[in-house]
Amino acid sequence: MSHHIVEVIHLQHIYPDGTIAIRDVSFRITHGESVAIIGANGAGKSTLLQHLNGCLEATSGQVRIGDTLLSKGTLPDIRRTVGMVFQNPDDQLFMPTVFDDVAFGPLNLGLVGTEVEKRVMDALIQVGAAHLRAKPPYHLSGGEKKRVAIATVLAMTPDILVLDEPVSGLDPFARRQIMTILQEFNHTKIFTTHDLNMVLELCQRTIILHEGEIMADGPTGDIFQNDVLLAACHLEKPFALQLCPACTGAAGAIKP
Amino acid sequence: MISINTAVIDLKRLELMAGGNSPIHALDARAKVLVTFVFIVAVVSYGRYELARLIPFCIFPAVIIALADLPALFLARKIALICPFIAMIGFFNPVFDQTELFRLGHVVITGGWISLVSLIIRSLLTVGAAFILIGTTGFAALCQALERLGIPQLFTVQLLFLYRYIFVLADETCRASRARELRSCDKKGLGVVSFSSLVGHLLLRTWQQAVRIHSAMLARGFVGQFHARRQSRFGVAEFCFVLGWSSLFMTLRLFDISGMIGKMVTGIFP
Ligand SMILES: Nc1ncnc2c1ncn2[C@@H]1O[C@H](COP(=O)(O)OP(=O)(O)OP(=O)(O)O)[C@@H](O)[C@H]1O
Ligand SMILES: [Mg+2]
């Protein structure tokens, strides 16, 4: 299934004000991979993701989804393949009710009637937001908006899922729910996050972005063992990998 | 800024009403657009001194509100809000137009006053009809109907974006002005300087937000076409709806029904 391959080749993005957000990034993600892109604030993660479905145009370099090169002509096809959840759910929700908003994508895909309704309800149930369907999106809490935003993309049944900070601002239960959804989605998925414990649980592969460049790209386990690298990129080893203070000598000092 | 916020919340509420399930909601949007159009043309086409013959037209909003189960009080309040603006427009009518039309006892009623009242009634009727149209149809379906009635897509999509942009602008305005109020510590926010930079900031911010929303729409397969969730076609019910109301409006416009009823009543009780 070469369709689910994401390939970025020497990508560079310079914003109109001169900020170089992405310097020179290349990677290749194959079918079924689950990849986390991590890095400090302003490292260029959101900018990078927005190239994957053509929301931003590269200053130079290429993006390939499957066998197709991303360009003006192939954009509609690529957007059908790549489902994208933005960092700020307010950017994503614009219809009068939650139901209408989730239905927007399937309707654009040409579906009608009960098929649309089924897709919408399935997606809403998956993210645990079915009870919100009649509410207007602007009356939701931040976390609820986030869940609905994820549902809007799931309802389009994309082949590749791209999420920008899917669990930021969610309560532990909702975070777990989203993680389960991601685990069950067995096509290619790419997401950014500051939640490194989640990365450890969900991703075999991690890419560290630092000031618009890839600092590391490899198995998650290896990367999180490299303290020097993590510190250089403003990251911290996940708790799950830190040695328990109670079991080491540090605890001895506390004991009476 | 609060007033902008409430105005937009009201607009959103109007939009939410469109999700209702009454027989009026179920009608094809084109039928409602056509009837509203005929209604507005009929009401607007009366002479400037017309009063009595406008009154029977109230039956249209009244019947639709009842059938569609819209919150009448809420609508009435919203429509009443425009009264001061209309009065402002017609403010000089009584001053300039001093022609005497009739007397009530010793009070001379001039043409100016009558035309002012007539203007207000006509505005209330037309604005009310427009509100009811949105409240029973929803803006997206409305634009789609316009398109299916032959208005170019370029125009209808622009209209829809403009409508969405109002919400974006209002949201951003509220956020920004709240941020300014909270940090200005009762000093009126450093006056004009900070206010002007706030406005400039707002335009840029709403512009960016609108661009981001647009790219989110594109990301979900938007190709310049809005799909209303309700699938409908122009059937018998729509045909009767349009024919019934239009002929009523025509009759009211061409014959002086209220005058005839008046004559009948005065004929019976001389
Ligand atoms: N529209 C823009 N115009 C100019 N510069 C921008 C724009 N958007 C982002 N930048 C800059 O590009 C760089 C990368 O931003 P980006 O949003 O990709 O960061 P990020 O890695 O997603 O950070 P965060 O973790 O905070 O979400 C930042 O230095 C930012 O200031
Ligand atoms: Mg970001």
What is the per-residue pLDDT across A84-112, written as a single tens digit (0 to 9) for each?
998 888 888 877 789 988 998 888 888 88
Distance CA B29, CA B163 (A): 18
Residues B198 and B125 both lie in one domain? no
Per the CB < 8 A criterion, the answer to whether A240 and A220 are in contact is: no
Same domain, residue pair B70 and B101: yes
β-sheet bridge partners, residue A84: A162
Residue B98 placed within a domain = yes
Same domain, B63 and B127: yes
pLDDT digits 0-9 by tens, B102-143: 777 777 777 788 888 888 889 899 999 999 999 998 888 888
Residue type, B263: K
Instruction: Ligand 1 pocket test: pick from A11, A13, A15, A209 the residue with the most ligand atoms within 8 Å of its Cβ.
Output: A15
The nearest CA of chain A is from the CA of B136 a distance in Å of 14
Name which of B19, B217, B223 is nearest A97 (Cβ-Cβ).
Answer: B19
Has residue B91 been placed in a domain?
yes
pLDDT band at A256 (very low <50, low <70, confident <90, very high): very low
Judgement on whether residues B22 and B105 belong to the same structural domain of the protein: yes
Give the pocket of ligand 1 (CB within 6 Å).
A 15, 17, 19, 21, 39, 41-47, 87
Instruction: Give me the interface pTM, i.e. the ipTM.
Output: 0.74
| pLDDT for the residue numbered B1 | 47
Higher pLDDT, A142 or B267: A142
Q: A137-151, A166-180, B102-116 — which is least confidently predicted?
A: B102-116
- Is B185 found in the same domain as B175? yes
B144 located within any domain: no
A53, A100, A156: residue with CB nearest B229:
A100
Neighbour tally for B257: CB within 10 Å: 16
Q: Do B223 and B161 belong to one domain?
A: yes
Contacts (Cβ under 8 Å, ≥6 apart) of B95: B112
B83 and B198 inside one domain = no
Contact yes or no for B30/B148 (Cβ under 8 A): yes
- C-alpha B136/C-alpha B14 separation (Å) is 9
Same domain, B29 and B109: yes
Q: Which residues constitute the domain of residue B66?
A: 1-138+229-260
Query: Where do runs of H (alpha helix) occur along chain B?
Result: 2-17, 23-26, 29-44, 59-68, 72-80, 83-89, 93-96, 111-137, 139-148, 153-183, 191-219, 236-254, 257-268
Q: In 10 A of CB A35, how many CB atoms?
A: 22
Using CB atoms, which residue from A90, A100, A108 is nearest to B222? Answer: A108
Q: How confident is the model at residue B84 (pLDDT cuts 50, 70, 90)?
A: confident
Q: Atom 22, ligand 1: which residue's CA is nearest?
A: A46
* Inside any domain, residue B240: yes
Nearest CA in chain B to A152: B220
Residue ranges and CATH numbers for the domains of chain A are 6-247 (3.40.50.300)
Cα B13 from chain centre: 14
Judged against a pLDDT cut of 70, whether residue B212 lies above it is answered with: yes
In a domain, residue B266? The reply is: no
Q: Which ligand lies nearest the alpha carbon of A195? A: 1
Does some domain include residue B221? yes
Asked whether residue B55 falls in the same domain as residue B165, the answer is no
Q: Whose CA is nearest to atom 31 of ligand 1?
A: A42
Model confidence at A1, pLDDT cuts 50, 70, 90, reads: very low
Q: Is there a single domain that holds both residue B14 and residue B104? A: yes
Phi and psi torsions of B35, nearest 5°: -60, -45
Look at chain B and report how many structural domains it folds into: 2
Residue B270 lies in a domain: no
CA atoms in the 13 A half-sphere facing the CB of B242: 14
Residues B130 and B69 in one domain: yes
Q: How far is CA A15 from CA A82, A151, B218, in A?
A: 23, 30, 20
Residue B168 belongs to a domain: yes
Q: Are residues B218 and B105 in the same domain?
A: no
Contact B167, B196 (CB under 8 A): no
Q: What atom in ligand 1 is closest to the CA of residue A43?
A: 21
- 3-state DSSP call for residue B180? helix
Q: Please report the pLDDT score of residue B190 as a whole number.
A: 57
